[in-house]
Amino acid sequence: MTDATPHLDLPYILPAQAQKHVTHNEAIARLDALTQLAVADRDRTVPPTDATEGARHIVAPGATAQWDGHDGKVALLLNGGWVFLTPRTGWMAYIAAEAALRVFDGAQWAEPPRDLDNLPGLGIATSSDAVNRLAVAAQATLFSHAGAGHQVKVNKSATGDTASVLFQTGWSGRAEMGTTGTDDFTIKLSPDGATWHEALRLNAATGAVSGTAVQQSADDTAPGRLMRADWGYGPGNLLGAVAQAGGVPTGAVIERGSTATGEYLRLADGTQICTHAISLGTITAAGSGTWADPYRTAPGFDWTFPAGFAAPPVIAAQGVPSGDVAGDPLRRVCSPAMDAPDSAALPGIALIRQGAAADADDFTVMLCATGRWA
């Protein structure tokens, strides 16, 4: 039979032992020290000078003086002297100076092992519940990287379920973003938690955007709405083919082009302007210079518009001589003459000189037709 218990090293009362009460009292004192073990600290290498009976400390590494050679043991002041209790694996002690529990693992006093997997709930400065398994009450919650970056993942079981972030005021919803009921990403807003507006929806299949924050039609000019690329204008569609549907522009703002019979400019509002310069030849090719038979270009010319009109356009024409008119300004006085235009052409163009000078000058007529494109 040994002299002490195997775990707490409490001394046994041996057969025929004298002064049995001494052994008994020592065992009781040790049991008193180790039951509900709590020590003052574990960072001392020498005993405190003001220790009182029953004081307990865990001896720090490198101890000296009366504690020399007892690193890691529990020092108990008993009957005015220090008694050292050797810890066993699994002993647990409350460290008052640290307000923390420590467990002896066979080599050192370490933090108790903690299994934080599959907890039913966790509340930090607040209480969790069956729905909010994790609840945090704080001014901020930090998720930082462990390596190059960090992701916050919100997973749902099926397409029709919800995976979102909800923003509340007084526990009433005001904004929500995520995949709610579909796999499209949406941003919703509410003034009261009951009425919700789907401001933006990003289609999961195409990435296209819709919602009340986006133009609802080509003629929607509501303040604050985001312009759709197909209903707005910018460097990509300012110039191009113009078009309309029901009076609403559906193409570019400006269209410009040219053919062998001139240039044209079309605007999104339906305006079309065609221009051309035609050489009509010599102004004295026909006529005798009288009022009854004035000098004129001959024969007449026709102008096929470089782009057709919806109806006969308005025509402006100007004659420009090629000769030297500085010394005789009257040589440039002429009047254009033409037949009535249709939507495709202007026939019978000629120039008539307003004076009697017979000087042979080649004239060019500058033509401009203004109307609406077809």
pLDDT tens string 149-168: 999 999 999 999 999 999 99
Q: What is the pLDDT of residue 320?
A: 87
Q: What is the pLDDT of residue 6?
A: 54
Q: What percent of the chain has pLDDT over 70?
A: 87
What is the pTM (predicted TM-score) of this model? 0.57
Please name which of 187, 163, 183, 185 lies closest in space to residue 174, comparing C-alpha atoms: 187
Question: CA–CA separation, 297 vs 261, rounded Å?
Answer: 20
Q: What is the pLDDT of residue 92?
A: 92
The SS3 call for residue 5 is coil
Question: CA–CA separation, 342 vs 325, rounded Å?
Answer: 35
Q: Looking at the domain 257-372, which fold is it?
A: Immunoglobulin-like (2.60.40)
- Give residue-wise pLDDT tens across range 89-129: 999 999 999 999 999 999 999 999 888 889 999 999 999 99
Domains in the chain: boundaries = 36-110, 161-217, 257-372
Do residues 55 and 77 touch, judged by C-beta distance below 8 A?
A: yes
What's the token pair of residue 30? Answer: 């040790």
DSSP string computed for 341-359:
--SSEEEEEEEEESS----
Position 29 confidence tier, pLDDT thresholds 50, 70, 90: low
Average pLDDT over residues 24-39: 69
* Residues forming a β-bridge with 16: none
Position 8 confidence tier, pLDDT thresholds 50, 70, 90: low
- Give residue-wise pLDDT tens across range 279-309: 988 877 788 878 888 888 888 899 999 999 9
Contacts for 157 with CB less than 8 Å, ≥ 6 apart: none
Question: CA–CA separation, 74 vs 44, rounded Å?
Answer: 12
